[in-house]
Chains A and B, each alone.
Chain A
């Protein structure tokens, strides 16, 4: 009967080797940012400026001064010089603007604005850096891919696959989750948080620093869409790779649970095909790259001027996307929620949900189940929904009337504010960065405007519910502990009530971890879906009638 000890030991050794591979891959990936040399020739500066159509007379001089050099500049030095060059150019014209303003020379003042160069400094710097890099990473992209992605993927799989043996028989194996530093908010979890937060800060706010990563993926990008990789390509590719690897973990962990297996396959499919491949292929065909499953208002820039213009200029496909986007939000989303609950989107289709259900699964237990968190959730998520809708109204009003503001609010300002606060900070830095400490659905629970919209439909008009199985609940709390949305599932189950909550994304884990078979996600008739009871099934029926009657008084 006894498994030879050596099998376990072998598997653990493989895991350790995997961990080492993974960490080496991660170290090279991170370290690659610090490599390479960045400079341009005078000619390259000239052609870059021409390609950008900058009118500034001094940017050429400033940029040349900054980056035409024999010095060995790393990306950080390079970035700071480039940003200073842009700053110097803009400062020059700002000074002129101030001067003409003082002189009340309005014509001259007005002229100066065309010379200014707009854009975020790190983004401007990224564009220059992308052309300026040289060095081992850029020249050996294929090798570097294997040393970073390759090693990390192989290492992660070596770490994950032995669990087929190590976890033992099929079934819920949450053993040790609260004993491990990585899954119990220990130092490893905090390190992961710092890494993820830094990653997102770089991605959103300092893309030039990550330019070496784009070199590693240039060959793949060129194959897919004909162009070089941007930081967003890096993010999209990384996103897919992480989801695939962590989906392998899900498949092993929940291999006894067909709902989990199918659901994981679904999110994986939608991420790889819809979010990644189709937009890339569309881009290679000179179409606007569009993620057909990304519904407004999660896709908050769908009604932004630049997108509407781009769609308008793209002929039939642009028109199709415009119509599809509106139909998706107004008809498909609510109708599907009516029949299946918001899970059809949040834990079967959505990219944010996809990452949460794969990379985030080891952290699902960290969502707060406190009542105050629920209160905060309702305020916050609905505020974001209102914010997104208001922003869109302002944007559309300005777009169609050609004005710059509506009700005194500048369209550009509200778009920038939303993109910064919600798009970058909430959805990215906090939403994913905080996984290891606050759970894997921080964004989905507290911030996503689409989730808020779906939730309202789910709460008030849907066939979906989690049915509580009569009086079988023993209040053990596994369901609540592992609810990623912070729903106190037990509070309902122990009262014999069905769980009807707007935030439920239908991941099905509460049902999976229940040791007594109490919970079942199902779509059924609306009648009796919400069933508040005081006395549970099993106690005498007369008493039930009596108490329920008392309650009705």
Chain B
């Protein structure tokens, strides 16, 4: 029986395993050094905040794996011997495979800051980071202040986490507005305000110079590069992005760049070795997507795809239209299609913001053809299926606005803003778009 070994029990690896099991009788082993069972990394924050227990982050009950004949091995892979098709473990043992899927995910970036390995300095990515945070920041007495370095999604989540335990937070962001490499100005400013509204000490346009520690090797303060200001703290969160977790492959025959290099079939340069998820790097970017995408659902889709290939339906990885979502403290964010931080030459923008400053939509479209390119929506939920279809059918911005009521996905009885939005668009563009009433027929067409 063919033995499929998957390194990594995250969403990519587990999805691959589930789909291989669905489609075949192969022997499957999932290897992980992090946890015994698959858990949802995105939910670690809720464990610290007390919304959930760790067990709630596990999407499958513990009996699931045995019942589906998916073997779980706890161990840390130090190297791969692809000639002998074998894995070497830090624990000293080995495991042989017929086909190998590398799904090792990411690791937090560290940019060689002095003091970056002191106690109390951590990322927020692994289960171990959560344990560490619980150790060094259990409450505001033990942790009198925390400093977070790096203004991305994980950074703001970590800020929210610490804030939930009333721990004062200083948030160092390199850019002069939060996440403005991704978000356009209006949205970025909205999130700045949201951070400040939560009494988080947001410092824009600053970099970390160093982390200072005491004689016991425990972090005690940080110094800001630009101002030289020293800030006393007990915990330093390093959240300046993530990069593929592929160091263990350096001496193998498997080609790596920033991540494991794969083609569209998710194959590496070595036969019968595949890579999926955060750690995979496409030789060439797919559409406007980045060659490495550390996003939950792309990991899942690669898992779905590679399972097909391994089970004999050789299939290209073809992610559909870009979408994503996040929650910035209390403001939910969804995006469908592309809305770049800066408009491209052929693009025109429409921005509407609610007067309370916590809801907005930003539509990007082609100014010549009027084709809809993408939407950012903050504080208003929208239907994925609606925009997926719009993008596939290359509909115009006017069409989108006319049918905006079909797109709304907020809970029932929520106030609707479509009239206001369409009125603003009409006013700015001299158009006369009439908002159509929500139609189930169109939604499910």
Closest residue of B by beta carbon distance from A551: B22
- Give the shortest distance, in Å, between B142 (CB) and chain A (any CB): 15
Question: Contacts A179-B50, A516-B332; is A471 near B297 (CB within 8 Å)?
Answer: yes
- Give the shortest distance, in Å, between A167 (CB) and chain B (any CB): 11
Cβ of B418 under 8 Å from chain A: no
The CA-CA distance from A202 to B334 in the complex, in Å, is 53
Specify which of B11, B316, B383 lies most central, judged by the most chain A CB atoms within 10 Å of its CB.
Answer: B383
Contact status B384-A469, CB under 8 Å:
yes
Closest residue of B by beta carbon distance from A372: B61
Partner of A478, one of B52, B315, B320: B52
Closest residue of A by beta carbon distance from B139: A179
Contact status A469-B412, CB under 8 Å:
no
- Give the shortest distance, in Å, between B430 (CB) and chain A (any CB): 33
Q: Which residues from A are CB-within-8-Å of B305?
A: 539, 543
Interface pick from B124-132, B192-200, B419-427: B192-200
Contact status A178-B50, CB under 8 Å:
yes
The CA-CA distance from A300 to B392 in the complex, in Å, is 55
Question: Contacts A469-B384, A470-B384, A490-B59; is A538 near B319 (CB within 8 Å)?
Answer: yes
The CA-CA distance from A259 to B382 in the complex, in Å, is 17
Cβ of A227 under 8 Å from chain B: no
Cβ of B436 under 8 Å from chain A: no
Cβ of A37 under 8 Å from chain B: no
Contact status B301-A539, CB under 8 Å:
yes
* Cβ proximity bits A52-94 to B, threshold 8 Å, 1 near / 0 not: 0000000000000000000000000000000000000000000
Question: Contacts A508-B411, A517-B325; is A174 near B59 (CB within 8 Å)?
Answer: no
Contact status B411-A257, CB under 8 Å:
yes
Cβ of A375 under 8 Å from chain B: no
Closest residue of A by beta carbon distance from B166: A8
Contact status B50-A536, CB under 8 Å:
no
The CA-CA distance from A522 to B384 in the complex, in Å, is 16
Q: Which residues from A are CB-within-8-Å of B334?
A: 472, 516-517
Contact status A177-B388, CB under 8 Å:
no
Contact status B411-A177, CB under 8 Å:
no
- Give the shortest distance, in Å, between B366 (CB) and chain A (any CB): 22
Q: Which residues from A are CB-within-8-Å of B47?
A: 178
Contact status B320-A174, CB under 8 Å:
no
A-B contact count (CB 8 A): 181
Contact status B381-A469, CB under 8 Å:
yes
The CA-CA distance from A543 to B334 in the complex, in Å, is 25
Contact status A475-B164, CB under 8 Å:
no
Cβ of B296 under 8 Å from chain A: yes
Cβ of B414 under 8 Å from chain A: yes
Q: Which residues from A are CB-within-8-Å of B444?
A: 524-525, 527-528
Cβ of A515 under 8 Å from chain B: yes
Closest residue of B by beta carbon distance from A496: B384
* Cβ proximity bits B187-210 to A, threshold 8 Å, 1 near / 0 not: 000000000111100000000000
Interface residues of B in 288-331 (CB under 8 A from A): 296-297, 300-301, 304-305, 308, 313, 315-316, 318-321, 323, 325-327, 329-330
Partner of A538, one of B46, B197, B199, B301: B301
Q: Which residues from B are CB-within-8-Å of A537?
A: 320, 384-385, 388
Question: Contacts A169-B197, A475-B42; is A470 near B323 (CB within 8 Å)?
Answer: yes
Question: Do most interface residues of chain B lie in helix, strand or loop, or is the interface mixed?
Answer: mixed
The CA-CA distance from A9 to B337 in the complex, in Å, is 46
Question: Contacts A1-B199, A178-B53, A494-B59; is A538 near B320 (CB within 8 Å)?
Answer: yes
Q: Which residues from B are CB-within-8-Å of A481?
A: 51-52, 56
Interface residues contributed by chain B, number (CB under 8 Å):
65
Question: Contacts A478-B43, A543-B308; is A472 near B52 (CB within 8 Å)?
Answer: no
Q: Which residues from B are CB-within-8-Å of A469?
A: 381, 383-385, 409
- Give the shortest distance, in Å, between A545 (CB) and chain B (any CB): 12
Contact status A470-B40, CB under 8 Å:
no
Q: Which residues from B are CB-within-8-Å of A524?
A: 440, 443-444
The CA-CA distance from A491 to B58 in the complex, in Å, is 11
Interface residues of A in 455-487 (CB under 8 A from B): 467, 469-472, 474-478, 480-481
Partner of A476, one of B46, B315, B318: B46
Interface residues of A in 366-404 (CB under 8 A from B): 370-371
* Cβ proximity bits A506-521 to B, threshold 8 Å, 1 near / 0 not: 0010011101110011
Contact status B320-A539, CB under 8 Å:
yes
Contact status B22-A534, CB under 8 Å:
yes
The CA-CA distance from A540 to B52 in the complex, in Å, is 34
Q: Which residues from A are CB-within-8-Å of B111?
A: none
Closest residue of A by beta carbon distance from B382: A517
- Give the shortest distance, in Å, between A516 (CB) and chain B (any CB): 4
Cβ of B413 under 8 Å from chain A: yes
Cβ of B415 under 8 Å from chain A: yes
Interface residues of A in 218-259 (CB under 8 A from B): 257-259
Interface residues of A in 149-208 (CB under 8 A from B): 168-172, 174-180
Q: Which residues from B are CB-within-8-Å of A327?
A: none
Cβ of B49 under 8 Å from chain A: yes
The CA-CA distance from A536 to B299 in the complex, in Å, is 12
Cβ of A319 under 8 Å from chain B: no
Contact status A476-B330, CB under 8 Å:
no
Q: Which residues from B are CB-within-8-Å of A534?
A: 19, 22, 304
Cβ of B57 under 8 Å from chain A: yes
The CA-CA distance from A177 to B43 in the complex, in Å, is 15
Closest residue of B by beta carbon distance from A506: B412
Cβ of A104 under 8 Å from chain B: no
Closest residue of B by beta carbon distance from A258: B413
Partner of A169, one of B43, B57, B198, B443: B198
Cβ of A262 under 8 Å from chain B: yes
Closest residue of A by beta carbon distance from B201: A1
Question: Contacts A178-B51, A478-B46; is A538 near B297 (CB within 8 Å)?
Answer: yes
Contact status B50-A517, CB under 8 Å:
no
Interface residues of B in 357-412 (CB under 8 A from A): 381-385, 388, 392, 409-412
The CA-CA distance from A539 to B319 in the complex, in Å, is 5
Partner of A517, one of B321, B332, B413, B441: B332
Interface residues of A in 331-372 (CB under 8 A from B): 370-371
Contact status B199-A543, CB under 8 Å:
no
Cβ of A285 under 8 Å from chain B: no
Q: Which residues from B are CB-within-8-Å of A371?
A: 61
Partner of A259, one of B330, B392, B412: B412
- Give the shortest distance, in Å, between A340 (CB) and chain B (any CB): 10
Q: Which residues from B are CB-within-8-Å of A171?
A: 329-330
Q: Which residues from B are CB-within-8-Å of A542?
A: 318
Partner of B52, one of A178, A512, A516: A178
The CA-CA distance from A490 to B11 in the complex, in Å, is 14
Contact status B325-A543, CB under 8 Å:
no
- Give the shortest distance, in Å, between A185 (CB) and chain B (any CB): 10
Question: Contacts A168-B198, A477-B57, A543-B304; is A521 near B412 (CB within 8 Å)?
Answer: yes
Q: Which residues from A are CB-within-8-Å of B46?
A: 174, 476-478
Q: Which residues from B are CB-within-8-Å of A527?
A: 444
Residues of A within 8 A of B (CB): 1-3, 168-172, 174-180, 257-259, 262, 370-371, 467, 469-472, 474-478, 480-481, 490-491, 494, 508, 511-513, 515-517, 520-522, 524-525, 527-528, 534-543, 546-547, 550
- Between-chain CB contacts (< 8 Å), 30 pairs: A2-B199, A171-B330, A174-B46, A175-B51, A176-B164, A177-B50, A180-B50, A258-B413, A259-B411, A259-B412, A370-B61, A469-B409, A472-B334, A475-B59, A476-B40, A477-B57, A481-B56, A515-B327, A517-B382, A520-B381, A520-B411, A525-B441, A534-B19, A535-B304, A537-B384, A538-B301, A538-B319, A539-B320, A540-B319, A547-B308
Task: Known pairs A259-B414, A371-B61, A543-B318; list 4 more (Cβ under 8 Å).
Answer: A178-B51, A258-B414, A472-B297, A539-B318
List 3 A-B pairs, minimum CB-CB distance, nearest first.
A470-B384, A540-B318, A171-B330
Residues of B within 8 A of A (CB): 11, 19, 22-23, 40, 42-43, 46-47, 49-53, 56-59, 61, 164-165, 196-199, 296-297, 300-301, 304-305, 308, 313, 315-316, 318-321, 323, 325-327, 329-330, 332, 334, 381-385, 388, 392, 409-415, 440-441, 443-444
